[in-house]
Amino acid sequence: MKEILVPSSCDGQKAEKFVRKYLPEAPLGFIYKAFRKKDIKRNGHWIKKDDIIHAGDTLRIYVTDQQLEDFKKERPAVKRAFPYPIVYEDENVLIVDKPKGVLVYGDKTGVRETLGNAVLDYLYLKGEYDPNIPGFVPSPAHRLDRNTSGLVVYGKTDAALKELAELFKERTQIHKTYLALVLGDIEQDGKVDLPLWKDTQKGRVYVKSLQNGGKTALTLYHPVKRFGAYTLVELDLVTGRTHQIRVHMAAIKHPLVGDEKYGDFASCREVKAKTGLESQFLHAHTLSFGQMKTPLENLAGKRFVSPLPDNLNKVIEILCGESLN
């Protein structure tokens, strides 16, 4: 039998979700059976899997020591300072400035030096997360590709992460913009309204009609600085499809500079030789919040900015003969 005190970060979770996170290697059938057999109790009383648990509740899970060992896996965390810029932080939210080349999540190689692990290490240092206490794990509310730099938002509590996820899904009270250097001269504002389809086998995204499985995708763009052969554009994702900016801009013959997956390959080779840029020129630039409700009320009306990094400014300076600094 294992007795667990529910931490404040897990307040309001369903019992099933809490147990699944506490025993991440347990088969789902085992967990459901434990609820049916009344092997999971809260404050001395058996509960159903959909019951809500609260901070301070005591859960008892009747498992053997061997089952506990088999079904748990250690969460890697060490106490250390956060190595990247922190843009904003309160008790519910952490907004950080991710450098290019850093994974948000781990990959198949098992690399540990990810943004997510750096966040957990930092919160462990502060005493706001403990890998030895089960339940909620602070997580990002959205994704950025490894080679896209800029703002990433983390929910530090279960309630905050749920609300952030809803914001990014609805996109009415949150506004996020990107900066990209693209090929060609863009003279005026425009939009790309082309459905996208993801080939999970190839890891690529294609323009495809709605009738053939494509999903609605809309990108707005605004030229910030024109250089003749290149344009620095600000992009607003009305929808949030995988690789949306890269595919949409390539579709209108203005691919991102350095994008070897969807861009102009001859240009990529030339840019790499001149500047050393080995991936797409894309930066998550601003993040604005509208009306917010608990627990995100502190974010209401706030706008956060991540300046274009020095390495990308250097690319503009070499290619275009101008500096934005």
| Contacts for 174 with CB less than 8 Å, ≥ 6 apart | 167, 168, 287, 288, 289, 290
Which are the contacts of 300, defined by CB distance < 8 A and separation ≥ 6? 289, 290, 291, 292
What domains does the chain contain, in order, with CATH numbers? 2-71 (3.10.290.10), 74-154 (3.30.2350.10), 171-325 (3.30.2350.10)
Residue 183: predicted pLDDT: 98
Highest average pLDDT, of 95-109, 157-171, 221-235, comes from 221-235
Residue 194 and residue 166 in contact, taking contact as beta carbons nearer than 8 Å: no
Angle at 296 between CA 294 and CA 298, to 5 degrees: 110
At 111, is the secondary structure helix, strand, or coil?
Answer: coil
Instruction: Return the pLDDT at 289.
Output: 97
Q: Counting beta carbons within 10 angstroms of the beta carbon of residue 110, is it exposed (0 to 12), middle (13 to 18) or buried (19 or more)?
A: exposed
Paired tokens of 285: 């630039």
Q: Which two tokens stand for residue 25?
A: 């290697």
If you average pLDDT over each of 30-34, 163-167, 218-222, which comes out highest?
Answer: 218-222
* Average pLDDT value for residue range 316-322: 93
Average pLDDT score over residue span 291-301: 97
Catalytic residue positions, numbered? 145
Residue 108, pLDDT score: 46
pLDDT value for 210: 97
Q: Highest mean pLDDT range out of 25-39, 42-56, 210-224?
A: 210-224
pLDDT band at 68 (very low <50, low <70, confident <90, very high): confident
Helices (runs of H) and strands (runs of E) counted in the chain:
8, 16
| pLDDT, greater one: 162 or 133 | 162
- For residue 315, give both structure tokens: 């690319």
Instruction: Kindly give, in sequence order, each residue whose CB lies less than 8 Å from that of residue 119, ignoring residues fewer than 6 positions away.
Output: 82, 94, 96, 138, 154
